[in-house]
Every structure is written in structure tokens, then in C-alpha cells.
Structure 1
Amino acid sequence: MKLRTKLIITFLILILGPVMFTALAFFGISRYQMKTIKKLYGVESASYETLSNTPAMLNRITKETYTGMEKKAESDPEAFEDDSYLQSVNLELEARYSYLVIRIGDAYTYVGSDDATRQELLDALPDYGTHDSKQDVGTYVGGDLQALVKQMDFELSDGTEASAFIVTSISSMLPEVESMFVDSVLVLVLILIFTSLILTAWIYKSIVTPIHHLQVATKKITDGNLDFEMPVGGDDEIGELCTDFEEMRRRLKESAEEKLESERRNKELISNISHDLKTPITAVKGYVEGIMDGVADTPEKQEKYIRTIYNKANDMERLINELTFYSKIDTNRIPYTFEKINVNAYFADCVEELSLELEEQNIELAYFNYVDEDVQVIADAEQIKRVINNIISNSIKYIDKPKGYINIRVKDVGDFIQVEIEDNGKGIATKDLPLIFNRFYRTDASRNSSKGGSGIGLSIVKKIIEDHGGKVWATSKEHTGTVMYFVLRKYQEVPVT
């Protein structure tokens, strides 16, 4: 859920939630209080309107007493001169926050309250006959009195006019009604607190917790620690930020690991090149000293020494060229000069050059060409020759038979020409075969080995062939030999329409 959606939901819950729950609570509380009022005061069919209207409510709670007084006035009007009867009626009215006043003629014969405003109230009571006794609706008396007066006029048996008044204080609210409003306010406060706590916890979990994780993660990265995992966030904006942060951390870690690995490989390369340069340099120095000291005292020995020095110089040049070319690979700055090359002529020249070198090393070279005379490829002649020389050099290093051989086969395979270079060396183990084109990988890791090599020759082969739009692979059988394959796309004329 998006953060914007969460905030909208939070706003709606804060507005609608308390209103809805308070309405439900008010409904429940008021229903309970109305039942209580009915039970205590005998008020029938109390409604929300009467509960909220104090005069109407107070008018109804004395209705039963008023009706009883009317019946008494009709049957026994002299009872209103009986103090015991009046006292009982007044006690009943006191339970309803009211009291009784009796006026016979012009004199007040009974007043059920000794309130300080008693005389002021008596002066404000209406005269006989000013109220319709058939209705039990009270008359409001304002000012400081704030009272509801219900008047009942009747005559004694001797014809004396008399009035009975039920006086109810409007300033006081029924405790049940007051309790209802207090409870409603209390429930509203509790609902607001409860809703706020829930929403705060929700927002805290959605916003503050992920931000805390981001702070901790940022501190770890600042300290150089990338070995941790950022907790997965939700599907909101902050969750997406956490996900992006974790992706950034992962890439930073990979970059750091690649940098360390690159540094390790560069050190290994320098070590390999240094080791492999030391051997021919030592040999060159030895043969030069032999010439200087007169050890090569015959023309044959001198020629042998000079040829050996020349060959060792070539080995050093090859190693330096590999190192130079490797730096170009690392920066993707290999200089290619693509041109149309006739396959038959090109590979015939390559084999002719190789045959002289291999003959000196007692290695038999066989060449088989199965491609038509006019087949051409688009390639860089110098770089393809580097590919062939690197593969041949690698094969020579690992030929362990008294009589070595290398077969070169060029085949037509549809849209491609396929070159196969086979040797009878010691072969490559199955577990090593998928790794031989990786940089710095050497099946013989011992630097005491006589094989030498920088470990980048076949990786250069792979890079060049892939840049030509081809691919390279190998098959091998231990103690039997290895076959290296690479393919180049044939040049085909585009027909003119």
C-alpha cells in the first residue's frame, strides 16, 4: 500500500472512526439510561429528544404524581388539608427533584421546600384559573428561579378555591442523563486514544521502523561494513526505498569484491609475468656470458647460442605483448581492423609460419582444409593470428608425449567456418574444462612448473572471437589430448534488388 494511501486511510479513520464508534456507544448508553429512567421514574416511551430537553424530561417524571393528585382532588379534595397526605406526596416528589406547594384561597398552607428562594417563588406562582388544569404541562419560571411549575386548580367541598403546584428545578439535570453524557464523553476520549494508538503504531511500523533500518544500514556502510542484509520493506514508497537501498548495498558489495578480486588477479598476473620473464632473462644472460667468456668458441656453438638468445627474446616479447594486450582488454580498447579475408589463403599462410616453429620443437603439424576456394570472412587478420598462436602455444606447453602433433582443420559449417586445433597433450580434466577461458585460470597452478604462462592466453582468445561475433569452446580427454574449436561467420554478398 502506498504511503499516500495510508495517510488518506489514517485521515478517514481519525475522522469517521471516533464518530461512528461514539454514535454506537451513545446509542448503547442512552438505551440503558432510558430503561433506568423508566424504571426509576415511571417515564414511558422516553426518547432521545426528551433526554436532551431537560424541561420536557422533568415534566414527564412528575406526570404520574400529578395524575394521582388530580384523582385525589376529584374524590377527596379535603385531603389537601391533611399534612400526612401532603407529606407523602412531597416525599414522592423529592425523589423526582421536585416539591409540593398548596394554596387555599390566598394563603399558602403547605410548602415542601425551605429553599432560600422560597418566597420569590411563591410570589411568582400564577393565580387560580390562569392555567388549564386539564393539561399537565408545566409553566416555566425564569430569572434566578429556573423552575418548572405544574398547576392544578380545584375547589374544596365548601367551594373555596385551591391550587396545588408541583415545582421542579430546571437547573438540576437527572443524574442518569448527566451520567449518560459523561459516559459518552469518556467513551469518545477512550475511542480517540485507542484509535490514535493503533494508527500511531501502524504509521510507526510503516515509516519510522524502515527509516530506523535505513539509518542503521547507512551507518554500517559508512563504517565499511557491507556484510548485512537490509530487511525487505513493504510495497509503499519507503518499502521501495529500502529495496533500492538493499540493491545498492548488494551492488556495492559486488563491486568491492570485484575490485578485491581484480587486485588479486593483477598481483597474480604481475607475479606470473615476473616469474616467466625471469626464466628467459636468466637464459639470455647465461648464453651472453658464455659468448663473452669464450665458451662458444666455434661458429656452430655461437650460432646455437645466438639462436637460443633470439628465441628467449621472442618469449619475452610474447609475454610483454600478452600483458599489453590484456590491459587493452580490461579497458575495452582492442584495436580491430576488420577486412575481407580469403579463408584458404589466410590459413595456409598461418600454417606455413607455424610449421617452422613447431618443427624445431619436434612437433608434427598437419593441416586439413575443407572450405571452398572463394569462402571469405570479415575479420582482423592480426587478431585471428593471435588467437591461433595463443591456442598453439597453450597446446605446446602441455604436450607430454615424446612425439607431439598438432592438427589444424578448417571446415564449412553453413553460415560459419569452424577451425579445430587438436593436440596430443596431457588433456584437461572435466572439472577444469568449463574454466579454461577464464582470466588467470591455470590447470597447473604451481609456479615450480616448467609450463609457465600468464594464465590470460585463452581469455584473450575468447575475447577476440566473441568480438568477431563467433564463439570458442573445447573438448578434451585426459592423457589423450585436447581439441580447441572456434567459429567465424562467413562473408556473404547481399543481393542487389
Structure 2
Amino acid sequence: MTIKKRLFISNLLMLVIPAILGLIIVVVTMFAVMEISGTHDKIVFSLAIIIILVISAIILLTNRFLTRFVFKSIILPLDTLIYGVRQIRDGNLDYHIEYTGKDEFEGICSDFNEVAQRLLDSVNARQKDEVNCKELIAGISHDLRTPLTSIKAYVEGIETGVASTPEIQKRYLNTIKNKTLDLEHIVSQLFLFSKLDIGEFPLYLKKVDIGKELSNIVINLTEEYERKGLIITLTQNVKDIYVQADVVQLRNAVVNVLENSVKYKNREQGKMRIICETDDNYVAIKLNDNGSGVSEEALEKLFDIFYRTDPSRTNPSNGSGLGLSITAKIIEKLGGSIRAENVQEGGLTIIMMLPKYTEGKRS
């Protein structure tokens, strides 16, 4: 039995049962009066019939009015919810109920919208994971095939006697060694990313003075990256500000950004300015290079696995596209966030946000 029928029957019985009892009392009373007075006047009987008809009409009208009133406040919201459920069932996950009533259905409709939004987010996340999985397979295939093809070609060159002199053979073997190191690096990066992604990579967290740690990182890396054509300067720093971090992985996060700037610098001598500043709850580490920057569309994809601004991937020496993805995972595991911005004067800024550590807890 539907809710509508139940409400109708319930409402009808609430009116009819008291009315019937009232009519019985009226009829019994009238017959008692007639017996006591000894009169059987037709007028009295007719009057009783009229009273019964009037009461019945009042009952029916009242029932109709109350039924419409109750149905309007219950059935209409139920119809709205039913329509919303059918929209979700048919795949319209963007559908949201607009309910303006101030009653119990307001909370139900709000919960419906929240569930619909979560379902939409879940579907979007699954679709993004599927896309990332396809890109991952394509990226691995390409980045592994390129050095493997070179290794195969140079090995065949040695076997067939193309490398006929010791000098050529040594050059071939050095190339094979370098390509093997490239393969090892790609596999190691992929292993690290997968461990971070599934949460099986251990982080050794401790209270870290971020200003001192950042200074140490810059001091230790400055000479190495000058040889690679990137001048690093720490232009702004903080004092006595602490975060909870894994020092080794924090250094790796910074190194990945530096490597990215080296690979894509558009001049012989690139520059990297590092700024560390803080607000009430977070520490911001900004790494700003003077390269060519990226397109606005690419900003949203820089931290996707295997994404490179070289869409054709024609330059394997520019890396596997895993570095910034690993950096993003590291910062995420440390409870922070990361984003990229183009600099108006030219260049790209990577901003890493880490929660401050206060009174034994991360704020």
C-alpha cells in the first residue's frame, strides 16, 4: 500500500469514526426523547435525517481539505526526492534538489545533495584514475623503450663489428652504461611513486627547523647545480619556525623541482630563487626559476604522473615526468599541498605549503 493511500485512509478514519459515534449518540438520543415524549412526529424524524446529512457533508468537506493540506506538505517533497533519485539513476550526477521548505524534508534534501556530490566526486576520481593509468602505461612503455632501443642498437654494433676500434667500443659501452643508468633511474622513480601512492613508503617524521634545514639544502646543492647551469639563491628565510617532516624526503622534493628547472631552462645560465615565508598556520616554500614558464592548461597537469610539457615526448633526456609527481606525493604525505604559478616576468614558481608544528602537534 502506498504512503498516499495510507495517509488517506488514516485521515478518513480519524474523521469518520468519531463522526459515526457522534451520529449514533444523536440518533439514540432523539429516539429516546421521542419515546419519553410519546410523539412520533414525522418532522422530528425528518429533522434527524437533515442533521445526519449536514454532519456527513461537513465530514466529507473537512476530510477533503485536511487531505489536500497533508498531501501538499508530504507528497510534493516525496515526489521531488523520487525525481532526484531517478535523475541520479539515469546518470545525471550533477542534479541537485532545490528545496525551500522549512521542515523535516529540508535536511533530507540537503543530505541527498551531499550524497549526489560525493558520488559525482567518486566517479570523477575513478575516471581520472583510469586516465592516469593509461598515461602511466603509455609513459612507462615509451620511457623504457627509448633507452632499451639504444642499448640494443649499440650491443648489435659491437656484435657485428661496427665498433671496430677500442675507442669506438669504449664509447659504445659508455653509452650502454648511461642508458642502463637511465633505466635504473626510471624504475627507481616509478617504484618510489607507487610506494608513496599506496601509502607503503615509510616516512621518518621529526620536528624540523624549516629555516635551518632549507639553508642546509641550499648550501649542499649550490655548487652541484652551478655546474648544471642553475644558480640557486635563498632570498628570504624564516627563523625558529618548525614543521614535522622527513628530512630526506623533503630534500628530495626540493631536488626534483631543481632538476625540473635544469631540464627546461631556456638559457645557458638559469636562476632559481628560493623564498620561505610563514603565516599563522603554514610555511610556504616558493621555488621560482627564470625559465619560459608553461601554459595555463599545463599548470593544472604539472603534478600528474608522467606529464611533460613536451606532449610528443620527443626528448627523453628531459626526464620521465615523474619528478614533480613524486614531489607532490611527498608534500601530500607531510600534510601539505603544492601548486604551480607562472611568473609575470617569466618563469615558473612551485609553491609547497607545509603545516607549522606547534606545541608537539602540527597546526
Tell whether the 8 Å contact from 2:289 to 2:348 is kept in structure 1 after alignment: yes
Q: Which residue of 1 aligns with 2:4?
A: none
Q: CA deviation at 1:238?
A: 5.7
Q: CA deviation at 1:410?
A: 6.8
Q: TM-score, normalised by structure 2?
A: 0.68
The answer to whether structure 1 residue 269 and structure 2 residue 146 are counterparts is: no
- When Rg is computed on C-alpha atoms for both structures, the one with the higher figure is 1
Tell whether the 8 Å contact from 1:367 to 1:408 is kept in structure 2 after alignment: yes
Pick one of 197, 221, 231 that aligns with 1:366. Answer: 231
- In structure 1, how many angstroms separate the alpha carbons of the residues matched to 2:277 and 2:97? 56
Q: Which one is further off, 205-214 or 177-186? A: 205-214
Aligned to 2:229, the other structure's residue is in SS state strand
Tell whether the 8 Å contact from 2:305 to 2:322 is kept in structure 1 after alignment: yes
Tell whether the 8 Å contact from 1:383 to 1:464 is kept in structure 2 after alignment: yes
The answer to whether structure 1 residue 447 and structure 2 residue 312 are counterparts is: yes
- 1:389-428 equivalences under 5 Å are 389-401=255-267, 403-407=268-272, 409=274, 421-428=287-294
Q: Which residue of 2 aligns with 1:227?
A: 92
Aligned to 2:126, the other structure's residue is in SS state helix
Aligned to 1:382, the other structure's residue is in SS state helix
The answer to whether structure 1 residue 189 and structure 2 residue 56 are counterparts is: yes
- 1:11-410 equivalences under 5 Å are 14=15, 170-174=39-43, 177-208=44-75, 225-227=90-92, 229=95, 231=97, 236-237=103-104, 240-339=107-206, 343=213, 344-352=215-223, 354-355=224-225, 359=227, 363-368=228-233, 379-401=245-267, 403-407=268-272, 409=274
Count how many residue pairs are aligned between Structure 1 and Structure 2: 337
- In structure 2, how many angstroms separate the alpha carbons of the residues matched to 1:491 and 1:53? 92
Overall identity of the aligned pairs, in %: 30
Tell whether the 8 Å contact from 2:217 to 2:251 is kept in structure 1 after alignment: no
CA RMSD of aligned residues (A): 4.9
Tell whether the 8 Å contact from 2:287 to 2:350 is kept in structure 1 after alignment: yes
Q: TM-score, normalised by structure 1?
A: 0.53
Q: Which one is further off, 417-426 or 322-331? A: 417-426
Aligned to 2:270, the other structure's residue is in SS state strand
Pick one of 321, 324, 329 that aligns with 1:463. Answer: 329
Q: CA deviation at 1:189?
A: 0.9
Provide Cα deviations, 1:51-82, integer angstroms capped at 9, x if missing partner.
x96799xxxxxxxxxxxxxxxxxxxxxxxxxx
User: More helix per residue: 1 or 2?
Assistant: 2
Q: Decide whether aligned partners of structure 1 residues 240 and 492 sit closer, same or farther in structure 2, where only a CA change above 3 A counts.
A: closer
Q: Decide whether aligned partners of structure 1 residues 400 and 345 sit closer, same or farther in structure 2, where only a CA change above 3 A counts.
A: closer
Stretches of structure 1 that go unaligned for 5 or more consecutive residues are 1-5, 23-51, 57-139, 141-145, 147-169
Higher relative contact order (CA 8 A, sep 6+): 2
Q: Decide whether aligned partners of structure 1 residues 218 and 366 sit closer, same or farther in structure 2, where only a CA change above 3 A counts.
A: closer
Q: Decide whether aligned partners of structure 1 residues 205 and 319 sit closer, same or farther in structure 2, where only a CA change above 3 A counts.
A: farther
- In structure 2, how many angstroms separate the alpha carbons of the residues matched to 1:198 and 1:251? 41
Provide Cα deviations, 1:120-158, integer angstroms capped at 9, x if missing partner.
xxxxxxxxxxxxxxxxxxxx8xxxxx5xxxxxxxxxxxx
Q: Which residue of 1 aligns with 2:28?
A: none
Q: Decide whether aligned partners of structure 1 residues 337 and 350 sit closer, same or farther in structure 2, where only a CA change above 3 A counts.
A: farther
Q: CA deviation at 1:287?
A: 2.3
Provide Cα deviations, 1:257-291, integer angstroms capped at 9, x if missing partner.
32122112211222122222222221222222223
